[in-house]
Amino acid sequence: MPIPSNYSSPTRVSAKKRAFAQIQEWIIDGTLQPKEKLNDAELAQALGVSRTPIREALQLLNVQGLVEMFPGVGTQVTSVKKEDITKILPPLGALEALAAELATPLITQDTIDTLREINSAFARAIKKGDFYSALKQDEKFHNIIVENAQNQYLANSVSNLQAHVLRLYFHQSIILTDTSIDEHESMLKAFENRDPETAAKIARTNWLRAIDEFYAEQKDSRE
Amino acid sequence: MPIPSNYSSPTRVSAKKRAFAQIQEWIIDGTLQPKEKLNDAELAQALGVSRTPIREALQLLNVQGLVEMFPGVGTQVTSVKKEDITKILPPLGALEALAAELATPLITQDTIDTLREINSAFARAIKKGDFYSALKQDEKFHNIIVENAQNQYLANSVSNLQAHVLRLYFHQSIILTDTSIDEHESMLKAFENRDPETAAKIARTNWLRAIDEFYAEQKDSRE
DNA sequence: AAACATTTGTCCGTATGTATA
DNA sequence: ATATACATACGGACAAATGTT
């Protein structure tokens, strides 16, 4: 029986990592609801592993702020209020603004072209009303900018906040609008002009605007 | 035999937390050097616990970026170059600027007075040449501002970066100068004037200046 | 007040994987 | 290439702590 040569690479991940990814996904997409109790023995059985990797995964999720642990009492999914976007987006906006600023002198025209393509896909998804796909494109767009800032400390800080943004999307706090399409293009223009201040300013606005839009939507739905 | 009434509270911490705090301290103060190998069995014996809490503590330190783990191979203290301040301080400065901005409308005169006292202690420590004490006062000063921003996501992001700043201090990358004394006072004035833009700008400069001073010092020592 | 039930915290043995002789 | 040494990854059992009946 022939053995595929690329056998080891595809799924050689530890039980801990699989548990982490799976539980995180369940929390983000709402399968595990806020305040829901997390019993490590149950999760262990559900994922077919022992308690050890589950415990370790839960501790990492605790650091990320997705679960809270009460020693000797219990572990649960952290609660999340829709208004939390007002807490999460300002720091994320500040960091993404810095990322845009730092990336400006480093980014290549090739990368800018790639970003332009992603923004087109983002635009198509928005027009089609496929908001989940739009969200993924938006995430890809911003991640490429962060990568190009070439600062691991910055990248880590951003990724910790991003999980929360994703969760808020599933809790209907984040609304994607076509305003972002033009903002993205303006950022690309700023990159091409090597204008870090403008790039930073747009990046920040791009995130903070979502706060205003959320409250406008809230107001609409009350009327 | 009388039992102290406040017995349970003082040292009722888990082995994991003790291990985490101890190992983190050793890494920050240089007892455990960059690139040094971390054997969990050894650490377990040194701290008088089993390997489990050590493993868990190391995983948290890994997330914090103080240790790197190579599955199945080994765990070691992350390397740190003095130039890393140019990577760490920009995101920290951006977040502290945001903290100052958000704290401006929320901070009370009482708190401002407390900050002024801390800045006096900071000034005295600088004049005396007691830089470690100055560092602790500086940390206290900034932490109070972050607390008053009342944003847990922001506070978490900041504290993750702070451990690295402390380690850089012990590696002689961070230099404290008396310029900070006046900058702190200017921030307090901005708080009293309820001027968030100015407060944010000073907070950011206060951190970024350390980069310039580091390179000036490097240059001096070459001459 | 005390024993109980539940859940987390810790210990240690074993399996698995990697690097080296 | 095989074997060997070594470190991590995981599993399962026990101990400790908490809240409750």
pLDDT average per 10 residues of sequence, chain B (223 residues): 37 84 93 93 93 95 94 90 91 98 98 98 94 93 98 95 90 86 97 98 95 79 63
User: For position A200, what pLDDT does the model report?
Assistant: 98
User: For position A8, what pLDDT does the model report?
Assistant: 36
How many beta-carbon pairs below 8 A join chains A and B? 71
User: For position A151, what pLDDT does the model report?
Assistant: 97
Strands A67-70 and B67-70, by their bridges, are unpaired
Summary mean pLDDT of chain A: 90
| CB proximity list for A170: less than 8 A, separation 6 or greater | A28, A29, A30
**CB-nearest partner of A94 from B55, B88, B94:** B94
Chain C footprint bases within 7 A of protein beta carbons = 7-13, 16-19
- CATH annotation of B15-77: 1.10.10.10
For residue B103, which residues of chain A lie inside 8 Å, CB to CB? none
pLDDT band, residue A219 (cuts 50/70/90): low
User: For position A7, what pLDDT does the model report?
Assistant: 36
> Is residue A142's pLDDT more than 50?
yes
Give the residue numbers in B contacting A (CB under 8 Å), as ranges: 14, 55-56, 59-60, 63, 65, 71, 87-88, 90-91, 94-95, 97-98, 102, 151-154, 156-157, 160-161, 164
User: For position A5, what pLDDT does the model report?
Assistant: 36
> Is residue A221's pLDDT more than 70?
no
The whole-number average pLDDT for the span A8-34 is 84
pLDDT band, residue A216 (cuts 50/70/90): confident
Residue A37's beta-bridge partner residues? A76
The CATH-assigned architecture of domain A82-222 is Up-down Bundle (1.20)
User: For position A223, what pLDDT does the model report?
Assistant: 60
CA distances from A99 to A162, A201, B86, B90 (A): 14, 11, 14, 10
User: For position A1, what pLDDT does the model report?
Assistant: 36
User: For position A176, what pLDDT does the model report?
Assistant: 87
Contact A91 B154 (CB under 8 A): yes
Domain B15-77 and domain B82-222, same fold? Reply is: no
Residue nearest C12 (alpha carbon to C1') = B50
User: For position A222, what pLDDT does the model report?
Assistant: 61
The whole-number average pLDDT for the span A35-62 is 95
Contact B91 A14 (CB under 8 A): no
A56 touches strand C (CB under 7 A): no
Q: How far is residue B95's CA from residue B153's CA, in Å, rounded to a whole number? A: 11
Would you list the domain boundaries of chain A? 15-77, 82-222
User: For position A12, what pLDDT does the model report?
Assistant: 62
**pTM reported for the whole predicted model:** 0.89
The three-state secondary structure class of B203 is: helix
User: Which of B40, B98, B158 would you mutate first to test chain A, the one with the most A CBs within 10 A?
Assistant: B98
* Angle made by CA atoms A18, A22, A23, in degrees to the nearest 5: 120
CA of B72: nucleotide with nearest C1':
D8
User: For position A42, what pLDDT does the model report?
Assistant: 93
